Amino acid sequence: MERQLDRRDSEAVEKHYREQVKSYFEDDLQRPEIFNRLKKGIVVFSYIEDDLARSVLESRLNQIAEGVRERSRGALTVRFNSSDPEDRLVVDELLRETNASDYGLRDVNNTLFQSVASEVGKLLDDGDRLQQRSWRFRWNAARKDVEMAPS
């Protein structure tokens, strides 16, 4: 019977994966000398918890907002405030779309690229929308995606 791994226990996670790698080389491949050469170089990454993924999402949305301001030379602003309930909703929904606990922070970045970058790009390329100087990220429940809305 396989034991359930507590992802929050970093020592148990590291021990589990190190044992699995050792078992693979020693038992499955019957090449313990290869494991002996590699064992000091094995890196076990921690699972990404929602609070870290949330922090990264908020930081990236702030970076995107700042990037819009810089790219437009201050002509456009994108407002994002993680304490604002509507902005928190955007983060909550993006967090639901990611699978950071299994795929790590790369999935957070991929989700942002798919959901946010294309909308920001559309905003910057649309001359008519550029007349409005202040924008916000908004969650479009019907599309289950981020959209840019006038602020």
User: How does pLDDT run across 96-132, given as a tens digit for each residue?
Assistant: 999 888 888 999 999 998 889 888 888 888 878 878 8
The answer to whether residues 60 and 134 belong to one domain is yes
- Which CATH number covers residue 135? 1.10.8.60
The answer to whether residues 35 and 69 belong to one domain is no
The answer to whether residues 21 and 80 belong to one domain is no
Query: How many angstroms separate the CA atoms of 34 and 54, rounded?
Result: 39
The answer to whether residues 108 and 133 belong to one domain is yes
User: How does pLDDT run across 7-47, given as a tens digit for each residue?
Assistant: 888 899 999 999 999 999 999 999 999 999 999 999 988 88
17 to 3, 21, 45, 87, 116: CA distances (angstroms): 13, 6, 10, 38, 35
Radius of gyration of the chain (CA): 22
Show the domain range for 29. Answer: 10-41
User: How does pLDDT run across 130-146, given as a tens digit for each residue?
Assistant: 788 899 999 998 888 89
| Whole-number pLDDT of residue 1 | 42
Query: How many domains is the chain built from?
Result: 2
In the predicted model, what is the mean pLDDT of the chain?
Answer: 90
Task: Decide if 4 is inside a domain.
Answer: no
Query: How many angstroms separate the CA atoms of 37 and 53, rounded?
Result: 34
The answer to whether residues 37 and 74 belong to one domain is no
* Mean of pLDDT values over 70-75: 85
| Whole-number pLDDT of residue 47 | 84
DSSP H stretches of helix in the chain? 10-23, 32-38, 50-71, 85-97, 100-103, 105-112, 118-125
Instruction: Give residues with Cβ within 8 angstroms of 89, minimum separation 6.
Output: 139
Residue 53 has pLDDT above 90, yes or no: yes
Task: Decide if 77 is inside a domain.
Answer: yes
| Whole-number pLDDT of residue 65 | 93
The answer to whether residues 32 and 54 belong to one domain is no
Q: Is the pTM of this model over 0.95?
A: no
